[in-house]
Amino acid sequence: MDFHIFQTPEEASHSLARGIASLIKRCEVAGKRPVIGLATGRTPLALYRELVRMHREEGLSFRNVITFNLDEYHGLGREHPKSYWRFMHENLFDHLDILPENIHVPRGDIEPEDTVRECQEYEAAIADAGGIDLQILGIGRTGHIGFNEPGSGAHTRTRLVELDPVTRADAVADFGDLSAVPEMALTVGCGTILEARSIALMAWGASKATVVEKAFLGPVSDDVPASFLQDHPSVSLYLDEPAAELLAAGCEEKHHLSKD
């Protein structure tokens, strides 16, 4: 696992954006279409701003890029102001030359009897695209990746899940009121995420320090689904100093113990 610690989320996001740009260019030279898994939430906003800037000012093209978002709130249609479909269009897709048919976000407004089919089709679409080259992740305070809350196994696939009360409480800032926060979501599984060829997880701020330490220094367990990333061969962490503080202190301690 590679740890990249930066002073600010902007510096970290710019570094990851350069990595994404070089993936896009490498694929172009190889005649392949890059497949990128995307996250929503506050964490990737600076990354998306930088990708938009690179497109506008440096001519970085997304015409060949295929994207798959991690998740969507259950019950929200695409045009709902808080849907992740809308979030992604407002913050990224509307400002790029990405082709609409290459954008994938799980559908939140499906009938209960269509859920299994929708999830299977989402998995099939990822497989048809050749699998995910780079999966971008944030991390929730529960240790979730996507909306794989504690108790989600390493082999889970795209499915309908119940959101943890901590996750719903964190979403009040977006929805204004707890009663407006959906109780369920569609999410790709931990197994789906772990099949990505490489993974970049971002976390900012002191409020993420405890979960970052648990996920990357603690035991690998479904109590903290992000800990499954410890077993993936190509994971990079992009952290700002406050988010990395406990992890860095824990690494130092482990290093001392192993020297003694």
CA angle at 52 for the pair 232 and 95, rounded to the nearest 5°? 115
User: With binding defined as CB under 6 A, does residue 143 bind ligand F6R?
Assistant: no
- What SS3 class is residue 198? strand
Nearer to ligand F6R, 195 or 260 (CB): 195
User: With binding defined as CB under 6 A, does residue 9 bind ligand F6R?
Assistant: no
Count of residues of this chain found to bind ligand F6R when the rule CB under 6 A is applied: 13
Residues forming beta bridges with residue 184, ordered by sequence position:
162
Q: Considering only residues 41, 106, 182, 189, which one is a binding residue for ligand F6R as defined by CB under 6 A?
A: 41
Cβ 40 to ligand F6R shortest distance, Å: 4
Q: What is the DSSP letter of 163?
A: P
Residues 45 to 104 in contact with ligand F6R, rule: CB under 6 A: 70-71
User: With binding defined as CB under 6 A, does residue 225 bind ligand F6R?
Assistant: no
Cβ 248 to ligand F6R shortest distance, Å: 20
Q: Considering only residues 13, 43, 115, 152, which one is a binding residue for ligand F6R as defined by CB under 6 A?
A: 43
Q: In the chain, where do the E strands start and end?
A: 2-6, 35-38, 66-69, 71-73, 103-104, 134-137, 159-162, 184-187, 198-203, 235-240
Cβ 145 to ligand F6R shortest distance, Å: 6
DSSP string, 97-139: ---GGGEE---SS--GGGHHHHHHHHHHHHHHTTS-SEEEE--
Alpha carbon distance 101, 237 (integer Å): 30
Say if CB 73 and CB 85 are below 8 A apart: no
User: With binding defined as CB under 6 A, does residue 243 bind ligand F6R?
Assistant: no
User: With binding defined as CB under 6 A, does residue 138 bind ligand F6R?
Assistant: yes
Residues 183 to 202 in contact with ligand F6R, rule: CB under 6 A: none
* x/- map, 20-39, ligand F6R, by CB under 6 A: -------------------x
Is residue 52 within a helix (H) or strand (E), and if so which, with residue range?
Answer: helix 45-58
User: With binding defined as CB under 6 A, does residue 140 bind ligand F6R?
Assistant: yes
Interacting residue ranges for ligand F6R, rule: CB under 6 A: 39-43, 70-71, 138-140, 144-146
